[in-house]
Amino acid sequence: MIGDMTATTHNNFRALLFGKVLGIKRHEYVGVAWSFVYFFCVLSSYYMLRPMREALGVDSGVSSIPWLFSSTFVVMLGATTIFGWIASRFARRVFLPWVYIFFAANILIFYGLFQYAISHGITTIWIGRVFFVWISVFNLFVVSVFWSFMADIYTREQGRRLFGVISAGGSAGALAGPFVVSTLVVPLGFSNLLPLSAALLLISIFCIRRLRRWAHHEREGAGSEALPPPKPLGGSALAGVSHVAKSGFLSSIGAKQILASLLGTALYMFMNYLVGEAVEGTDERARVFGYIDAATGVLSLLFQLLVVRHSVSRLGVGMTLALLPLVSVIGFTVLSVNPTLLFVAIFQATRRAIGFGFVKPSSDMLYSVVTPEQKYKSKNFIDTAVYRGGDVIGSWSVTAMWGLGITGISLALVPFAVLWTGIALWLGGEYKRRAVTQRAEEADG
């Protein structure tokens, strides 16, 4: 009797926590759990590397940032073309694991290069610059591929309920990675953390396999249409570019991305300059950036677990997308009168937490109303080449305005944040229209 009461209480608590609070249905537990672990591994791997990238960027000097971002953009264009060619010719179940194997192997190569340079007393500044460019490509590809896969295996309705919780897995990883760095980077040295980052990335391959199996059984059990067959997407390697050029919806997503990158790059350069002035040594700078990333992770995790689902359902996709540009309007206005390292760090952590906690899950929902080819190729092009193109525009623009100081540059950026807000609201309305049309077509079919 007591055992039955305990089991009933446990089931009621689980139903309350997962169903009412997190919005997860019983048959989705396994899929969400593997998605959570998958994203945790991807972002914890990246966030072990990110503070090292920032510290190495400071070592190169703020004047080198535009060149580093320009180099990243060029490399990104080539990488996007190669990715488009691969996606056109190989099944997703084949190329998705190889994306992670490729980048894990790259991490181990950098580990060997840094170890060799340090042990032989060779300066690491040029290895660091190559590492900076590489990781700027790496993070966009692994995250973009993750969300394309999520949009593939979950329906639009599931995405609205579950993407916030799944994003929390990434935020947990974004918290765990910087914690490891801030704790171990000084006693061990940054290069010795690279093998652990590679190992976490490889675990994601196992998660992909489990998720494909779960999604297949999920669709079969519900009597729904099976997962897209494991065949190549077809089309040209540059199809993602042409789709963006021809679609007002996709080009608006790209414009939103450029504006986000412009403002984010400006804030990044402010942080780079102020940390370089206040903190000495690569490992110590990596520790500072690790603390900032950890603060971002805590805020993002809270937003994604407890708030984002309610934000999308009550405010709509458009207003949720507009949260970050509205905060940017306020933040850059305040920054123009208070250009200090402390405020820049708080603004950076808050802005990125809102981006990960609210805007990223909502942005990825936009791709649930496009074709599979657009979902992989166009999304990858926007999330990688367009994103880094925004970095190039932002870094050279801020460099050209550097004489105005942080105060003058911040004021000049406020109108761009206002424009970004308008685009976000339009995208929310267009998403809603497309979703209604798509549901009607599915009902007729």
Asked if residue 103 lies in contact with residue 142, where contact means CB atoms within 8 angstroms, the answer is: yes
Asked if residue 167 lies in contact with residue 39, where contact means CB atoms within 8 angstroms, the answer is: yes
CA–CA distance, 186 with 199 (Å, rounded to integer) = 21
3-state SS, residue 350 = helix
Could you identify the residue written with the tokens 């123009």? 336
**From residue 51, how far is each of 54, 82, 163, 174, 443 by CA, in Å?**
5, 28, 26, 11, 49
Asked if residue 145 lies in contact with residue 207, where contact means CB atoms within 8 angstroms, the answer is: no
| Angle, vertex CA 316, rays to CA 311 and CA 319, nearest 5 | 85
Give the up-direction half-sphere exposure of residue 95: CA atoms within 13 A in the CB hemisphere.
Answer: 21
* Six token digits for residue 140: 């966009």
Q: If you ran DSSP here, which 8-state letter would residue 226 be given?
A: P
Could you identify the residue written with the tokens 């995208």? 427
CA–CA distance, 153 with 145 (Å, rounded to integer) = 13
Domain range 27-437, CATH class: mainly alpha
From first to last of its 445 residues, the chain has per-residue pLDDT tens of 555 545 454 454 455 455 555 668 887 888 889 999 999 999 889 888 887 777 776 766 777 888 888 888 888 777 767 776 776 676 666 677 888 898 899 999 999 998 888 888 887 788 888 888 888 778 767 877 787 788 778 877 777 778 778 877 877 887 788 788 778 777 777 778 889 999 999 999 899 888 888 887 776 655 554 444 445 544 444 666 777 888 888 899 999 989 998 898 898 889 888 887 777 777 777 777 777 777 777 777 677 666 655 666 677 778 888 889 999 999 999 999 988 888 988 898 888 888 876 777 778 778 878 777 777 677 777 877 787 788 888 888 888 998 899 999 999 999 999 999 999 999 988 888 888 887 777 666 5
Indicate the residue type of 435. Answer: A
In sequence order, what are the residues at sequence separation of 6 or more whose Cβ sits closer than 8 angstroms to the Cβ of residue 265?
69, 390, 391, 394, 395, 398
Alpha helix ranges (H) inside 189-307: 194-222, 239-246, 248-278, 282-306
CA 230 to chain CA centroid, nearest Å: 26
In this predicted structure, what is the pLDDT of residue 445? 56
**From residue 283, how far is each of 119, 151, 192, 303, 367 by CA, in Å?**
17, 38, 12, 30, 39
In this predicted structure, what is the pLDDT of residue 417? 94
Task: Calculate the dihedral angle through the C-alpha atoms of 95, 435, 244, 373, rounding to the nearest 10 degrees.
Answer: 30
Q: What are phi and psi of 405, to 5 degrees?
A: 80, 170
Asked if residue 324 lies in contact with residue 332, where contact means CB atoms within 8 angstroms, the answer is: no
Asked if residue 184 lies in contact with residue 54, where contact means CB atoms within 8 angstroms, the answer is: no
Is the pTM here over 0.85, yes or no? no
SS (H, E, C) 130-195: HHHHHHHHHHHHHHHHHHHHHHHHCCHHHHHHHHHHHHHHHHHHHHHHHHHHHHHHHHHCHHHHHH
**Measured distance between the N- and C-terminal CA atoms of the chain, rounded to whole angstroms:** 51
The domain spans of the chain are 27-437
Could you identify the residue written with the tokens 């998720």? 211
CA–CA distance, 144 with 258 (Å, rounded to integer) = 16
CA–CA distance, 377 with 192 (Å, rounded to integer) = 35
